[in-house]
Amino acid sequence: MKKRIFTPVGEKEVTRAIVSSFLKQFTEYVESDCIIVGGGPSGLMAGRELAKEGIKVLIVERNNYLGGGFWIGGYLMNKVTVRGPGEKVLEELDIPYEEATKGLYVADGPHACSKLIASCCDAGAKFANMTIFDDLILREENRVAGVVINWTPISALPREITCVDPVALESKLVIDATGHDACVVRKLEERGLIKTRGFGAMWVERSEDLVVEHTGEAHPGLIVTGMAVATTYGLPRMGPTFGAMLLSGKRAAEVAKKLLR
Ligand code: 48H
């Protein structure tokens, strides 16, 4: 008989492997230390910093890919910039970069983004892709205690033909890393528990410091990071530069670590 290249394993084994591996992880992550909603640069950075300390982290991402706006940077040109000291994070993640002008650094979006994703995976964070944040779990005194999620494709189906109830995941903390929409904070606003101000006009030199400084617990059990910070507190936007996203993610992780202690 002709020698085969691949092991003789068939379709049923492939299906079984996928289902049982998914089920094992899903069951394990029905309860975690921290759920991060949004797998863009701030969420991935926060996830990496927490997971590498052995904290149980799940990142919920509505797309099939991770990275958010970090892939393509500004104006669909596949280049991302950071202002100093953001280049220190690029070095930490082993991302090649060039100095464009004093204190401004440029890297390739795909290279930067894939290194950040890999580093977050290597640290031990887990992901629920194609999973959309739908609502929060609130406990005594409206403390955030987890998220309600659904499959992303469900939201694309007409309401008249489907009503698929979501499921819930419990966690000690939730981080809103959903970018401009600040979806998690907005759920609290719908219930009159917080007031968001919407991000302001672009002013990079003011914006980045403010975003990092305002990163923190916006409501008991809920930390806000990245562009969602600008939306929550009415801070100016920064345009296609990502240092504040990376440093805000780091700060969110610091705050989370303190609260978890
Ligand atoms: C599940 C969701 C949901 C939901 C959204 O937009 P992002 O890249 O966010 P940040 O804050 O990490 O980075 C912002 C940066 O990319 C950027 O756009 C900048 C710096 N702009 C400046 C400016 O002036 O405009 O990533 C957010 C992620 C995405 O992957 C979304 O798909 C995901 O969150 N997401 N996931 N459920 N309801 N909403």
**Reported pTM:** 0.98
| Arithmetic mean of pLDDT over the chain | 97
The structural domains of the chain, ordered by start, are: 32-260 (3.50.50.60)
Q: Is the pLDDT of residue 237 over 90?
A: yes
Q: How far is CA 132 from CA 4, 114, 150, 154, 242, in A?
A: 42, 22, 5, 9, 24
Going by CA atoms, what residue is nearest to atom 16 of ligand 1? 69
17 CA from centroid of ligand 1 (Å)? 32
Q: In which band, very low, low, confident or very high, does the pLDDT at 99 lie, cut at 50, 70 and 90? A: very high
Q: Is the pLDDT of residue 108 over 80?
A: yes
Tell me what pLDDT residue 73 has. Answer: 87
Q: Which residues line ligand 1 (CB under 6 A)?
A: 37-43, 60-63, 68-70, 132-133, 177-179, 181, 183, 202, 226-228, 237-239, 242, 245
Q: Is the pLDDT of residue 259 over 80?
A: yes
249 CA from centroid of ligand 1 (Å)? 12
Percent of the chain residues topping a pLDDT of 90: 93
Tell me what pLDDT residue 239 has. Answer: 96
155 CA from centroid of ligand 1 (Å)? 18
**pLDDT tens by residue, 112-158:** 999 999 999 999 999 999 999 999 999 999 999 999 999 999 888 88
Give the residue-averaged pLDDT of 183-195: 98
Helices (H), the chain: 11-28, 41-51, 86-92, 109-123, 183-190, 204-214, 227-233, 243-260
Give the residue-averaged pLDDT of 21-28: 98
70 CA from centroid of ligand 1 (Å)? 9
Residues 6+ apart with CB under 8 A from 252: 42, 46, 175, 177, 215, 216, 223, 224, 225
Q: Is the pLDDT of residue 94 over 90?
A: yes
| Mutational pocket test of ligand 1: of 35, 60, 61, the residue with most ligand atoms within 8 Å of the beta carbon | 61
Residues 6+ apart with CB under 8 A from 129: 39, 61, 63, 64, 65, 66
Residue 14 to residue 245: CA distance in whole angstroms: 38
Give the residue-averaged pLDDT of 214-226: 98
Q: Is the pLDDT of residue 196 over 80?
A: yes
Q: Which amino acid type is present at position 151?
A: W
Q: How far is CA 96 from CA 91, 116, 123, 169, in A?
A: 7, 12, 20, 37
Q: In which band, very low, low, confident or very high, does the pLDDT at 74 lie, cut at 50, 70 and 90? A: confident
User: Collapsing DSSP states into helix, strand and coil, what is residue 98?
Assistant: strand
Atom of ligand 1 minimally distant from the CA of 241: 20
Atom of ligand 1 minimally distant from the CA of 38: 34
Going by CA atoms, what residue is nearest to atom 25 of ligand 1? 239
